[in-house]
Amino acid sequence: MSPRPGFVLEVDRSTPPTLFWHGEGFRLERLPVGSRVIYPPEPVAPLADPEAAIRQALEHPVGDSAPLSALLHPGSKLTIAFDDISLPLPPMRPPDVRQRVIEAVLDTAAAAGVDDVVLIAALALHRRMTDDELRHALGSRVFDAFAPHGLLLQHDAEDPSGLVHLGMTEQGEDVEINRRAAESDVLVYVNINLVAMDGGHKSVATGLASYKSIRHHHNVRTMQHSRSFMDRHNSELHTSNWRMGQLIAKAGVKIFQIETTLNLDTFPSQFGFLQKREWEWSLKDRAAFHTTRAALDRTPPAMARQIFQSIRSPHALTSVQAGEVEAVHDLTLANVHRQQLVEVQGQADILTMGLPYISPYNVNSILNPILVACLGLGYFFNLYRGKPLVREGGVCIMSHPTPWAFNPVHHPSYIDFFEQVLAETTDPIEIEAKFEESFATDPWYIHLYRTSYAYHGVHPFYMWYWCAHALQHLGQVIIVGGDRAAVRRLGFKPASTLADALEMAEDVVGRDPTITHVHNPPLFISDVR
């Protein structure tokens, strides 16, 4: 039986309460009659033989590319770059798809007699991965073969000797990327396309680039002109990356792109209720939900965080394509859309969403208030094609505890951004003009980024810019159940309950508003007509 597509429910009197994610917990909320709830599609069937599919992709590339085996020769210099800890979410059960793909690439390289091989985690400005995280992503066989010999590297966007400036695009954008990657005979990039934003030229042009290069597209203007950044053809973020990618190709960097897509089988069976529609919950699902919620109510937040962060997703591979970047990415997008696209008619006055415990930037960490804003207004708000789910001037209501808490190792500049920058202004344009450079060039943040496990000093700015389109579009943002001081610092309104939030929203959008709730994760894209 083929999986059911996404579904838009209209709430009536018989509709059971709707599950909202609420950080490391859940809330059951009764939405007003007439509200719409958008459910994700069911997981599509995975590839029956992932290893065979990967080998097939490597030997039958798409676009203007020879098979990988034909590109590699004895004496070739091969670099394999791969997506970092930010993908997929939650981290997947072993074997990770990167492990499967990289093992196949290494087998091909070995067969071709290539012995100059280096692996690079494409961090961009993200934190370095720990050995355990690398081992999880790559598998022990790969990790043990490369790490002890210094052949498993992590991209350092602040290492002048490790970067090479390839030129400027016609728009005046610096293209500066990892030297080893640029100077290799073949650069294989191994991608996980969890959402439509990932992959394409963005993989190398962002993942292996320097701040000097990334700043050209990670800025307020670009984000405000990306409608949305999940829709590559209407995304200034991607247009800029595509210009850079084309320059990289012209500069002679031979990229062999491998992109993979996953299905929406996001949570393990004990959290099966998270992937079902509430009226279809079995007795077992109801018992699991109530037991989980009761247990979480008695669990200290730090322990609850640890429990959730230990979740390993059963995500399964649904496609793999390799070859020339743009041809590969077109296929990838079709596969992402096949799994994630849900057609929705029209916009609502109010958009509600429950925010989970995890985002790309807090794996094994805390979803601090800036990341809460980014997850809601950056990622979930932008998971649309066509137009936003909420009308211009509408209200977005998010549910999350939003604790005033930070991981000082991972997010040191976030703390200063929250304490200093947001205390002064929440306007992305003003923030960018007044503060970005000093954070981006702060030697202490650079030191921590390069030697510890810290996100780059500029990273919280990007998280705020990620919200820029939503902040420009919305009339108000309300967070239900959040730390009131933290919510206010973000420039949002705190509310104790959803009912309170809806009442507050009426002051902005008027009485009897239309309401749409996005029931994710699992993640999906609303195709709003």
Partner 1 sequence: MKELLVERSVARFAAARAASALVGSGNGIGVGPLRLAERDPLALPGPDWHRVRPILSGICGSDLATVDGASSRYFEPIVSFPFVLGHEVVGIVDGGPLDGVRVVLEPVLGCEARGIEPRCPACSSGRKGACERIAYGHLKPGLQTGYCADTGGGWSESLVAHGSQLHPVPEELSDDAAVMVEPTACAVHAALLGAVVPGERVVVLGSGTLGLATIAALRHLTLPAELLAVAKHPVQRELAAALGADHVVKPDELERAVRRLTGSLALPREGSLERLTGGADVVFDCVGSSSSIASSLAVVRPGGRVVLVGMPGTVRVDLAPLWQREITLVGAYAYGCEMTPDGLRSTFDVAFELVAAARLERLVSARYPLERYEEAVRHAASAGRRGAVKVVFDLHRAEKASWRTARAADTVSQNAAPESTPPKRTPRVTESSKLSEPRKITKQVEAHE
- Omega before 228 within 30 of 0, i.e. cis: yes
Under rule CB under 8 A, residue 80 binds partner 1: no
| Binding segment toward partner 1, per CB under 8 A, in 168-176, 382-390, 416-424, 500-508 | 416-424
- Contact status: 438 vs partner 1 (CB under 8 A): yes
Instruction: Report in angstroms how near the CB of residue 419 gets to partner 1 at its nearest.
Output: 5
Stretch that binds partner 1, among 63-71, 343-351, 442-450, 511-519 (CB under 8 A): 442-450
Q: Which stretch binds partner 1 (CB under 8 A): 1-9, 244-252, 352-360, 447-455?
A: 447-455
> Residue 154 pairs with which residues in a beta bridge?
121
Stretch binding partner 1 (CB under 8 A), from 82-90, 273-281, 401-409, 490-498: 401-409
Residue 109 vs 363, nearer CB to partner 1 = 363
Which of 110, 447, 472, 507 binds partner 1 (CB under 8 A)? It is 447
Q: Within 10 A of 221 (CB to CB), how many other CB atoms are there?
A: 14
Helix 131-146 and helix 97-111: axis angle, to 10°? 20
For position 437 contacting partner 1 by CB under 8 A, the verdict is no
List b or e across 18-31, with b for residues whose CB sees 16 or more CB atoms inside 10 angstroms. bbbbbbbbbbebeb
In this structure, the strands spanning 317-323 and 348-356 are unpaired
Measured from the CB atom, the residue of 307 and 415 that comes closer to partner 1 is 415
Among 43, 412, 460, 482, binds partner 1 (CB under 8 A): 412
Parallel, antiparallel or unpaired: strands 317-323 and 255-262: antiparallel
Of 74, 172, 443, 510, which one interacts with partner 1 (CB under 8 A)?
443
Q: Does 278 bind partner 1 (CB under 8 A)?
A: no
Number of residues that bind partner 1 (CB under 8 A): 15
Beta strand ranges found along 131-254 (DSSP E): 152-154, 163-168, 174-178, 186-193
Stretches 46-54, 377-385, 414-422, 503-511: which one binds partner 1 (CB under 8 A)? 414-422
Q: Kindly indicate which of the ranges 9-17, 335-343, 440-448, 475-483 contains the residues binding partner 1, using the contact rule CB under 8 A.
A: 440-448
The whole-angstrom separation of Cα 308 and Cα 306 is 6
Alpha helices in 34-183 (DSSP H): 50-59, 68-71, 97-111, 131-146, 179-182
Q: How far apart are CA 26 and CA 432, in angstroms?
A: 35
Specify the 3-state DSSP secondary structure of 150: coil
Q: Are 347 and 389 in contact (CB under 8 A)?
A: yes
Indicate whether 444 belongs to the interface with partner 1 (CB under 8 A).
yes
Name the residue type at position 241: N
Contact between 369 and partner 1 (CB under 8 A)? no
Nearest distance in Å: CB 439, partner 1: 8
Does 431 bind partner 1 (CB under 8 A)? Our answer is: no
Phi, psi (deg, nearest 5) at residue 169 = -75, 170
- Supply the minimum distance, in Å, between the C-beta of residue 448 and partner 1: 8
* 432 forms part of the interface with partner 1 (CB under 8 A): no
The separation between the first and the last C-alpha atoms of the chain, rounded to the nearest angstrom, is 28
The amino acid at residue 178 is N
Q: Which of 33, 409, 433, 485 binds partner 1 (CB under 8 A)?
A: 409
Phi, psi of 461, deg, nearest 5: -65, -45
User: Does 282 interact with partner 1 (rule: CB under 8 A)?
Assistant: no
Q: How far apart are CA 176 and CA 206, in angstroms?
A: 10
- CA angle (109, 190, 57) in 5-degree steps: 65
269 binds partner 1 per the rule CB under 8 A: no
Which residue stretch of 111-119, 150-158, 333-341, 437-445 sits at the interface with partner 1 (rule: CB under 8 A)? 437-445
On whether the CB atoms of residues 106 and 118 are closer than 8 A, the answer is no
Which listed residue (420, 425, 472, 496) binds partner 1 by CB under 8 A? 420
Under the binding rule (CB under 8 A), the answer on residue 3 touching partner 1 is no
Chain residues binding partner 1 by CB under 8 A are 407-409, 412, 415-416, 419-420, 438, 442-444, 447-448, 452
